[in-house]
Amino acid sequence: MKTPLITLVLIFVYSITFAQVNWTNEPLIQKQIKDPIRSVSVKTLAGNIAVIGTSDQPSIEVYVDAINEATSSKAELRRFVEQDYAIDMVVRDHQLMVSATCKYGDSNWKKAVSISFKIFVPRNVVCNLTSKTGSVSLVNLDGNQTFNTSGSVNLEKITGVIKGHTESGDINVSNAGSDIDLSTKSGDIVAMNCQGKVKLKTDEGGINLSRLKGTIDAETLAGNILSDEIDGTFNTQTTAGDITLKRMSCHLTATTVSGTINAELSKACKSIKLNATEGDANIILTSKDGFNLNCEGKSISGDMPKKFSGTNDGKKLSGAVFGGGVPVEVHAASGEVKVQFI
């Protein structure tokens, strides 16, 4: 008995906002959806899934490609699908249910095909998407979104609750909110122009954040963290990586175990806590704001402004700058603390 395996079919090409999606081949199947849709459920073993909000008639495009054996004929692909696969696209109680399964299991790699879906739906739908190794793309949607995959994730212009996980792909999210919970085991995370409650976690990747507002939590076990323009409350940590912070205007807490922290804080934070266990901590503050400094390290360097009232014995710096104000705590147990004012 021959048993094909579904796997990847399409390559996503995204612009800087991740909104542009180009598919590499023509759809094998196209279907118009006439029934009203409130939710979408998609399951495919290894194909890609894209759901796009639109004001046009809801529709589905099915893309099929062969792997391991060169099969470029559209007729052959259709024959493989009709013979060995079941593709279901039905609406029940306003729920669009889409799935691709192999009739005989998933162990025959030689004649496997991949089956992916691009789905156009009303903006306010709720989605629940599952792909074992494919990528997930969500664009222009207002409802709550959940997904689980092992491929890359691209989210653009999503409101409502977003909760998703990928085993090994990168995550790109932009122009989204107001409740985001995303994680990946071995990919990088990029988040831009998001707001609300944002929780981001990767085990083995880097994190790049820009223009976020709200309660932001970002964590990686083995990667660098780069953050620019965050307002609200920002908690971030890495076990084995550097942290770079620019133009923060938030309650800031940053921790690294074996990396260096570089904080160029040209804006006034509400509070600052930096902790580098085995690395250095460098902080640049504005000379127009008041601070209460509490810094400790193996050594401390930096020129204090004239309006400094406190002590510095080379390992501990404590006192008020410009009359006091924002609390600043910087600790580097086995590294150097450097404090500068601009």
| pLDDT, average across residues 103-110 | 63
Confidence of residue 21 (pLDDT cuts 50, 70, 90): very low
Q: Is residue 84's pLDDT more than 90? A: no
Q: What burial class does residue 117 get, using C-beta atoms within 10 Å of its C-beta: 0-12 exposed, 13-18 middle, 19+ buried?
A: buried
Q: Phi, psi (5° rounding) for residue 190? A: -125, 125
pLDDT, mean of residues 24-28: 80
Residue 239 reports pLDDT greater than 70? yes
> Residue 209 in contact with residue 193, Cβ under 8 Å?
no
pLDDT of residue 76: 81
pLDDT, tens digit (0-9, with 9 covering 90-100), for 179-215 = 999 999 999 999 999 999 999 999 999 999 999 999 9
Q: How many CB atoms lie within 10 A of CB 198?
A: 27
In this prediction, residue 71 carries a pLDDT of: 54
CA 279 to centroid of chain Cα atoms:
27
pLDDT over threshold 60, residue 10: no
Pairing of strands 271-276, 249-256: parallel
Joined together, the tokens standing for residue 253 give: 């807490």
pLDDT greater at residue 157 or residue 10: 157
Its pTM stands at 0.90
Q: Which of 98, 100, 127 is nearest to 44 (CA)?
A: 100
DSSP class of residue 93 equals: T
Mean pLDDT over each residue of the chain, to the nearest integer: 89
Give the residue-averaged pLDDT of 16-44: 76
Q: Closest Cα partner for 45 from 150, 123, 121, 201?
A: 150
For the chain, the residue count is 342
pLDDT tens across 262-301, in order?
Answer: 999 988 899 999 999 999 999 999 988 999 999 999 999 9
Return the minimum-mean-pLDDT range out of 77-91, 103-117, 258-272: 103-117
Share of the chain above pLDDT 90, in %: 75
* Average pLDDT of the segment spanning 135-164: 96
Residues 6+ apart with CB under 8 A from 179: 160, 161, 162, 196, 197
Comparing 58-72, 187-201, 323-337, the range with the smallest average pLDDT is 58-72
Least confident of 32-46, 57-71, 73-87: 57-71
When mean pLDDT is compared across 33-37, 68-72, 191-195, 299-303, the lowest value belongs to 68-72
Structure token pair of residue 224: 């660098």
Furthest-apart CA atoms within the chain: distance in Å: 83
Cα(62)–Cα(86) distance, integer angstroms: 12
Q: Which amino acid is at 335?
A: G
Is the distance from CB of 100 to CB of 115 less than 8 angstroms? Answer: yes
Beta bridge pairs of residue 212: 194, 230
Question: Is 188 in contact with 207 (CB distance < 8 Å)?
Answer: yes
CA 260/CA 194 separation, integer angstroms: 26
Beta bridge partners of 165: 148, 183
9 or 171, greater pLDDT: 171
